[in-house]
Amino acid sequence: MKIVDLLKPPPGLKVLITGGAAGIGAVIARAFHEVEAQVYICDIDGEAVERMKREHPGLRGSVADVGVRHDVDRMMDEATSSLGGVDVLVNNAGIAGPTGNLEDLDPDAWEHTVSTNLNSQYYVLRKAVPWLKKSNCNPHIVAMSSVAGRLGYPFRTPYASTKWAIIGLMKSLTGELGPDNVRVNAILPGVVAGERMNRVIDARAQTLGIGFDAMRDQYLEKISLRRMVTMEDVAAMALFLSSPAAVNISGQAISVDGNVEYL
């Protein structure tokens, strides 16, 4: 087999993507759908789920709040029944969380961020791991972290805390699942162009009392390549890590960020 042939995931791969109806999750879902994987998404936005299903015939999905364990249990039963198992799990769902000084943060907002970003990964994993262990198709888990999972992020402590924790979860789970031939890696997107990043920039600009454009320039100055990355960049990494070319890549926290130097 030519090396180039190893770079594409095999058709028919059973892929489950949380938060898969919008943003990075939707782009990842479309990418796997394009390479003829069997794709199941979940998202809290029912209209977005239905839109993805209409636009991509054969793609399946349901509504779920991944921060609620009973929602995840129901969704996982539906997903594994629909797909007939799981070969690739992309634990992508997450929220930006509040912005501000730690002492001023709403405790409910902190808990909601932890539930959605971190607890959700555990809720999905506990149901998916038994299926991944049964897979003979290069089983793999993508844990979506962030550049904020390797750098401090002032005024965004709830978000950064969850993203650092996801790295610890990934590293620990790699050792647990390696003997079962299940790989685990984390993707750390950087400053990703799009509406969500615009909202983050605006919120931080307001916290610091400066203009949006000045805040955006500050973000770009922290990146070695002086540019944002795209959602397609992140999706391409997810595809690569789920391909035969990555069969011996596990336990890695891989940044897709143009080298963010600090936050």
Do the beta carbons of residue 93 and residue 116 sit within 8 Å?
yes
- Annotated active-site residue in 40, 123, 153, 159: 159
Q: Closest Cα to residue 28, out of 6, 52, 5?
A: 52
Residue for token pair 């299903």: 53
Q: Which residues of 101-139 are buried (b: 16+ CB within 10 A; e: fewer)?
A: eeeebeeeebebbbbbbbbbbebbbebbbebbeebebbb
DSSP H helical segments within the chain, as ranges?
A: 23-34, 46-55, 69-83, 107-114, 120-134, 157-177, 195-208, 212-221, 231-241
Q: How many CB atoms lie within 10 A of CB 57?
A: 7
Please check whether residue 92 is in contact with residue 27, taking contact to mean a CB–CB distance below 8 angstroms.
no
Q: Is 123 a catalytic residue?
A: no
Catalytically active residues, by annotation:
159
